[in-house]
Homo-oligomer: A and B are copies of this chain.
Protein backbone atom coordinates (compact mmCIF):
# COMPACT_ATOMS: atom_id res chain seq x y z
CA UNK A 1 0.00 0.00 0.00
CA UNK A 2 1.35 3.38 -1.01
CA UNK A 3 1.07 5.84 1.85
CA UNK A 4 2.64 8.93 3.37
CA UNK A 5 5.01 8.19 6.26
CA UNK A 6 5.66 10.79 8.96
CA UNK A 7 9.16 10.51 10.42
CA UNK A 8 8.31 12.00 13.82
CA UNK A 9 5.29 9.73 14.25
CA UNK A 10 7.40 6.67 13.49
CA UNK A 11 10.16 7.83 15.83
CA UNK A 12 7.73 7.76 18.78
CA UNK A 13 7.57 3.97 18.34
CA UNK A 14 11.28 3.51 18.98
CA UNK A 15 12.04 2.66 22.58
CA UNK A 16 15.60 1.30 22.40
CA UNK A 17 18.81 3.02 21.43
CA UNK A 18 20.85 1.49 18.59
CA UNK A 19 17.88 -0.59 17.43
CA UNK A 20 16.88 0.63 13.95
CA UNK A 21 13.30 0.16 12.77
CA UNK A 22 12.30 -0.16 9.12
CA UNK A 23 9.98 2.49 7.67
CA UNK A 24 10.27 1.85 3.95
CA UNK A 25 11.74 -0.33 1.24
CA UNK A 26 12.77 0.52 -2.29
CA UNK A 27 15.14 -1.02 -4.82
CA UNK A 28 16.39 -3.71 -2.42
CA UNK A 29 17.20 -1.11 0.21
CA UNK A 30 15.60 -0.29 3.52
CA UNK A 31 14.90 3.11 4.94
CA UNK A 32 15.26 2.93 8.71
CA UNK A 33 14.94 5.19 11.72
CA UNK A 34 16.99 4.93 14.88
CA UNK A 35 17.60 6.69 18.17
CA UNK A 36 21.24 6.71 19.18
CA UNK A 37 22.94 7.63 22.44
CA UNK A 38 26.42 6.75 23.62
CA UNK A 39 29.11 4.97 21.67
CA UNK A 40 28.67 2.25 19.07
CA UNK A 41 31.44 -0.10 18.00
CA UNK A 42 34.02 0.15 15.24
CA UNK A 43 32.83 -1.81 12.21
CA UNK A 44 32.54 -1.74 8.45
CA UNK A 45 30.19 -3.19 5.86
CA UNK A 46 31.90 -5.35 3.22
CA UNK A 47 29.57 -4.48 0.33
CA UNK A 48 26.97 -1.98 1.54
CA UNK A 49 27.23 1.80 1.45
CA UNK A 50 25.33 3.40 4.32
CA UNK A 51 23.55 6.74 4.60
CA UNK A 52 23.18 8.54 7.95
CA UNK A 53 20.90 11.59 7.97
CA UNK A 54 20.34 13.46 11.21
CA UNK A 55 16.69 14.32 11.94
CA UNK A 56 17.30 15.70 15.44
CA UNK A 57 20.42 16.33 17.48
CA UNK A 58 24.07 15.89 16.55
CA UNK A 59 26.02 12.79 15.62
CA UNK A 60 29.74 12.16 15.36
CA UNK A 61 30.97 9.38 13.11
CA UNK A 62 34.56 8.51 13.79
CA UNK A 63 36.62 7.42 10.80
CA UNK A 64 40.20 6.13 10.93
CA UNK A 65 41.56 9.54 9.91
CA UNK A 66 38.97 12.10 11.09
CA UNK A 67 35.68 12.74 12.87
CA UNK A 68 32.58 13.65 10.87
CA UNK A 69 30.13 15.97 12.62
CA UNK A 70 26.55 15.68 11.39
CA UNK A 71 23.87 18.06 12.60
CA UNK A 72 20.14 18.26 11.93
CA UNK A 73 19.47 18.54 8.19
CA UNK A 74 22.82 17.01 7.25
CA UNK A 75 23.90 13.59 6.05
CA UNK A 76 26.95 11.50 5.30
CA UNK A 77 27.43 8.41 3.17
CA UNK A 78 29.89 5.85 4.50
CA UNK A 79 31.17 3.78 1.55
CA UNK A 80 31.49 0.02 1.95
CA UNK A 81 34.76 -1.11 3.44
CA UNK A 82 35.31 2.04 5.51
CA UNK A 83 35.72 1.51 9.25
CA UNK A 84 33.45 3.81 11.26
CA UNK A 85 32.18 4.30 14.77
CA UNK A 86 29.05 6.38 15.48
CA UNK A 87 29.09 8.35 18.74
CA UNK A 88 26.16 10.34 20.13
CA UNK A 89 26.99 12.39 23.19
CA UNK A 90 23.28 13.24 23.57
CA UNK A 91 20.29 11.45 22.07
CA UNK A 92 20.17 11.80 18.30
CA UNK A 93 17.52 10.69 15.80
CA UNK A 94 18.75 9.42 12.46
CA UNK A 95 17.40 8.21 9.17
CA UNK A 96 19.38 5.35 7.62
CA UNK A 97 19.33 4.06 4.07
CA UNK A 98 21.15 0.85 3.26
CA UNK A 99 20.67 -2.46 1.43
CA UNK A 100 18.24 -4.85 3.09
CA UNK A 101 21.05 -7.32 3.79
CA UNK A 102 22.96 -4.81 5.95
CA UNK A 103 23.76 -5.93 9.50
CA UNK A 104 23.89 -3.07 12.01
CA UNK A 105 27.27 -4.17 13.33
CA UNK A 106 28.67 -4.88 9.86
CA UNK A 107 31.59 -7.32 9.96
CA UNK A 108 31.18 -7.77 13.72
CA UNK A 109 28.61 -10.07 15.33
CA UNK A 110 28.16 -9.63 19.06
CA UNK A 111 25.62 -8.63 21.71
CA UNK A 112 24.93 -5.35 19.89
CA UNK A 113 23.87 -7.10 16.69
CA UNK A 114 20.10 -6.73 16.18
CA UNK A 115 17.57 -7.69 13.53
CA UNK A 116 15.60 -4.64 12.39
CA UNK A 117 11.80 -4.88 12.44
CA UNK A 118 9.17 -2.75 10.74
CA UNK A 119 7.93 0.19 12.82
Contact = CB atoms under 8 A, between A and B. Distances in A.
Interface of A: 2-8, 24-27, 29, 31, 48-51, 55, 63, 68-70, 73-79, 82, 97-99
Contact of A2 (B3, B24, B79): B79
Given A27-B49, A29-B29, A99-B27, A74 B6 contact: yes
Contacts of A55: 73
A26 B74 contact: no
Contact of A74 (B4, B48, B75, B76): B4
Nearest to A7: B73
Contacts of A5: 74-76
B98 A4 contact: no
Given A2-B68, A3-B76, A27-B49, 18 more contacts: A2-B76, A2-B77, A2-B79, A4-B68, A4-B76, A5-B76, A6-B73, A6-B74, A7-B74, A24-B77, A26-B49, A26-B50, A26-B51, A26-B77, A26-B98, A29-B29, A55-B73, A97-B97
